[in-house]
């Protein structure tokens, strides 16, 4: 399993539009066979800060995600909404073990 945290700072005036575009992307991402989870969280004390918690079955699934039409639509739509470049941090899954992640 590959776990990726994406940190995004959005322009304050774009928060609602960003959320709308991001939820459409997240819902479509969950339909991909290689995606085990796709969580979007918003910081309580700074609503312009978001973290995506993306869990892929392997690195190939993460690469395939970036080739989808819905990702391209999201990427292009939200680019002008971001206050700075998004930042990603990759993790190896330790627990729960692979078998405990939902399967499709």
Look at residue 97 in the predicted model and tell me its pLDDT: 72
Task: List the 2-9 sheet strands across, edge first.
Answer: 35-42, 49-56, 2-9, 87-92
What residues contact 72, with CB distance under 8 A and at least 6 apart?
none
Give SS3 for 29.
helix
Q: How far apart are CA 77 and CA 59, in angstroms?
A: 25
pLDDT, one tens digit per residue, over 74-95 is 999 999 999 999 999 999 988 8
Ordered structural domains, the chain, with CATH = 2-93 (3.30.70.100)
pLDDT, one tens digit per residue, over 40-59 is 999 999 999 999 999 999 99
pTM of the model: 0.91
């Amino acid at each position: 399993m590959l776990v990726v945290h994406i940190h995004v700072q959005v322009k304050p005036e774009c928060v609602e539009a960003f959320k709308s575009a991001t939820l459409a992307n997240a819902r479509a991402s969950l339909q991909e066979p290689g995606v085990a989870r796709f969580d979007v969280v918003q910081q309580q004390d700074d609503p312009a800060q978001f973290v995506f918690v993306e869990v892929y079955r392997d690195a190939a699934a993460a690469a395939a995600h970036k080739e989808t039409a819905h990702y391209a639509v999201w990427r292009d739509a939200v680019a002008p909404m971001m206050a700075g470049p998004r930042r990603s941090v990759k993790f190896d899954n330790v627990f729960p073990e692979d078998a405990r992640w939902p399967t499709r």
